Structure 1
Amino acid sequence: MASPTELGPCTAVNERVKSLIQAASEAKEKAYCPYSNFRVGAALLTEDDSIITGCNVENCSLGGTICAERTAMVKAVSEGKKSFKAIAIASDEKDKIAPCGICRQFMVEFGTDWDVYLTSNDGSFEKMTVSQLLPVAFKPSHLK
């Protein structure tokens, strides 16, 4: 298994990745998180090069909370997009944050070879694939 790639501020990456990371950062501004005050934004790059964003939405019944990553994926599917190239995840944290286990499993539903960009608030990020985030995944093929 290849190891993740640690990259500094976004200056050395292509414009599409910069746009994706910027969209994730902007999406976090829309987060509804009155209980944790932990804002997260996600931006999903679809196979047709559309960028679909999502933010975390909390609920006083914490089980009703939905993460930014799943918000973006559900929004994409509701728009007929089910094939993804990449997702960027942003928060206000100095350190990069990674998707929760449910979000990782949700990503696997749409493949394991697409890219995940974990960002920090200084503009640095780490790139990995879904399969690196969840190397021993339960996949749709297990149900066939």
Structure 2
Amino acid sequence: MAERVELVLPAVDRPDATTPTPLGRLTVPGQAIPEKTVSVDPDEIARLRDAARAVAARAHAPYSRFHVGAALIMADDPQRRVIAGANVENASYGGTICAERTALTQAASLGFRKLELLVVSCVATLEAAVADRSPCGICRQVIHEFGSREPETLVIVDGGGEGALGDVFDLERLLPYGFSLGQG
């Protein structure tokens, strides 16, 4: 069993970019996220990665053939059980649900509301750029809704490849301007 390791999530510091126009200025909001250190258990990440890969094989993806699995642990689950979900497509497209939301709705159905760790695996794109294997916009917002600052919610995107566990995101790096109804 591996010991917990400390990860440093680097600071992001981009100033606003403002351009004047004859009708008023246009601003591209910058972003300032401080550096932070988080503690992770590589064994737990590997266990969730393996569960996400396994459930991805059972995805119902007859249209896209893009099989995705997600596995998570909720901070408010005293048993710390692994809850997994696969994407389930539907011919109406609007009825499709992604793996991340499948796992989170199962967790919510069990009464849990505080996401601690989520691992996503897109088995067909493990070697691709992170943009081709990371959560979609709707999933990012749902993750944000269940996210937590204590303990810090982390999302790991399976990186595949020899010796890789994945790419790590906290809530601010996953969805910088997540909608929250003013609840912080």
Scaled to the shorter chain, the TM-score interval is 0.7 to 0.9
From 133, 136, 157, the equivalent of 1:100 is 136
State the distance in 2 between where 1:58 and 1:65 align.
Answer: 4
From 99, 109, 119, the equivalent of 2:158 is 119
**Structure 1 residues 68-77 or 42-51, which shifts more?**
42-51
5+ unaligned residues in a row in structure 2: which ranges?
Answer: 1-32, 36-40
Structure with larger Rg: 2
Moved >6 Å (runs of 4+) = none
Share of identical aligned residues, percent?
37
Residues 66-81 of structure 1: pairs in structure 2 closer than 5 A: 66-81=97-112
Q: Give the C-alpha shift of residue 117 in structure 1.
A: 0.2
Could you tell me the TM-score, scaled by structure 1's length? 0.85
State the distance in 1 between where 2:65 and 2:119 align.
Answer: 20
Could you tell me the TM-score, scaled by structure 2's length? 0.68
AA matched with 1:133: L
Q: Which has the higher contact order (CA 8 A, sep 6+)?
A: 1
CA RMSD of aligned residues (A): 2.4
5+ unaligned residues in a row in structure 1: which ranges?
Answer: 4-12
State the distance in 2 between where 1:2 and 1:16 align.
Answer: 26
Asked if 2 retains the 8 angstrom alpha-carbon contact of 1:112 and 1:131, the reply is no
| Partner residue in 2 for 1:18 | 46
State the distance in 1 between where 2:171 and 2:63 align.
Answer: 29
Q: Give the C-alpha shift of residue 14 in structure 1.
A: 2.3
